[in-house]
Amino acid sequence: MKVCSVREMQSLDERTIHELGIPSLVLMERAALGVVAATAQHFGDRLNNVHILAGTGNNGGDALAVARILHNQSIPVHVGLHGADSKRTADNRHQLELVRKLNIPMLTIEGSHFASHITGASLVIDGILGIGLSRPMVGLWASVIELVNALHVPVVAIDIPSGLDGDTGQVHGVALRASLTVACGLLKQGLLMDPALDWTGRTESVDIGIPFHYTLELPGHLLDEDLAASLLPQARPRSAHKGNFGHLVILAGSQGMSGAAVMAAKAALRSGVGLLHVLVPASIQAQVAMQVPEAMVVPLPDHDGHLTLDALPMVQGQAENASSLLIGPGLGPERATGQLVRACIAAIPRPMVIDADGLNHFAQEPMPLPHGCLLTPHAGEMARLLSASARELQNRRVEAVGQAARQFGCPVIFKGANSLIADPQGNFWVNTTGNPGLARGGSGDVLAGLSAGLLAQGRPPLQAALLGTYWHGLAGDALAKREHDVTMSVGELISELPHAYSQMLKSRNA
């Protein structure tokens, strides 16, 4: 499934109207019918005193059409208006004329009368602004938004909650907090970004008549169960042996951070990799080996519990027969470790996942990466890679992950709420799995190990990123169904990976 920017959606609308000759009012009517159907499905028991907020643009026109459809179904409806008729779009004025002809109750939002009236609403439908927001919400509509947010009644947003940026998901001043957002046509990428996730509620899209082939060249994709399941390997032959499923080498850990190496290794083993070597400082080798008996844990020369350039020959030797490497979890920030990391990247021509401290050391002196690499930064690590502030990059996540993929010439996973994956060709994917329970130390080590294990089994870096990210989040979602996301642990997350795999397999075979 595709996702789009505001400009891309506007272009799709224009093409449909002008190239196909489908009137804009037809698109509006289909949008309204879709909103009504979704509202009835989720809030059918609340359709007894519906208040509809209609602005002057086409989003307001959609809302007015919704008012008419509900009215024709004998559902009590009140419409809140603001703005002169002369400021309305042509389609908005047409819908308003129909509402007036049907004598649907209308109120201007000015004054205490409206405020006292809307407090009795059983449900509110937001058609104030839509995706065209370019400046902070102020004035009367901003006051109405604050009033509705305080009512604690379900809110259905048409296309996007008013006050949210359709591209970045940022709140412009004040935004309506929706229980359900019904996107018209395609999901706008801003709906899937942080912080919009706390404002959109459940998100759905409705078909308004945009031809499918118009969307094929859009760069944005939804990473959903169908896509992830399609990336699962075929059944293993009965004659298979461990050498058929890749050899992964993990370079990880330091004094006080042995757990990162352990968690990455355990996740890699769950990926199905055939052989696993975990290279760690000699001072922590015993504690890592005791926790991951299935792996060969190799001690490397260290200094005070941290790896140095002296370990390079042993790493190179271990990597000679490796299918892929994972470099970074728990290595620590020491300068000498950074020298080793950069030397490994320069000297070992193998596909590799670079994560955590591996990224931080690489960012200090970037260099060309071997073919088949995958980077897995969170916001802080992305900021160091791109020499920007984490706050700035969080405000433009799609742009940031695309920039990183182009700059370093490989797929990049930008971790966070609804993690993003981008390739160097300009495509990006928005993950649909995961929850706040994954926001804890060690979760990223699991993703890195899982993705590196898939890479070792011959998956191209982009496929390893897509499948690993979805699988990781799906395991977290399954775990959250059994216990509160506050109490989830990374150990339990790793144990949930097989069940999540089975769920994807069942989806593929359905």
Instruction: Give yes or no for residue 410 having a pLDDT over 80.
Output: yes
What is the pLDDT, as a whole number, of residue 139? 87
- CB 316, CB 306: distance < 8 Å: no
Q: Could you give the percent of the chain with pLDDT greater than 70?
A: 100
**Residue 195: pLDDT over 90:** no
Quick: pLDDT tens for 267-297: 999 999 999 999 999 999 999 999 999 999 9
Peptide bond into 411 cis (omega under 30): no
Asked if residue 340 has pLDDT above 90, the reply is: yes
β-pairing verdict for 420-422 and 428-431: antiparallel
Tens digits of per-residue pLDDT, 417-439? 999 999 999 999 999 999 999 99
- Averaged over 52-79, what is the pLDDT? 97
pLDDT of residue 390: 93
Residues sharing a CB contact under 8 Å with residue 43, sequence separation 6 or more, in sequence order = 123, 154, 156, 179, 180
Q: Which residues contact 210 (CB under 8 A, 6 or more apart)?
A: 12, 13, 16, 185, 186
Rounded distance between C-alpha atoms, residue 414 and residue 378, angstroms: 6
% of the chain residues with pLDDT over 90: 92
Confidence tier at 172 by pLDDT (50, 70, 90): confident
What is the overall mean pLDDT for the chain? 96
Cβ(432)–Cβ(418) below 8 Å: yes
Paired tokens of 154: 């379900």
pTM, 2 dp: 0.95
Q: Are 77 and 69 in contact (CB under 8 A)?
A: no
Residue-wise pLDDT tens digits, 97-139: 999 999 999 999 987 788 888 999 999 999 999 887 777 888 8
Q: Which domains does the chain have, with CATH numbers?
A: 2-218 (3.40.50.10260), 226-232+243-509 (3.40.1190.20)
Q: Give residue 205's pLDDT.
A: 96
Query: Going by C-beta distance under 8 Å and a sequence separation of 6 or more, which residues neighbour residue 296?
Result: 275, 276, 277, 278
Report DSSP letters for 410-460, one per residue.
Answer: S-EEE-STT-EEE-TTS-EEEE----GGG-STTHHHHHHHHHHHHHHTT--
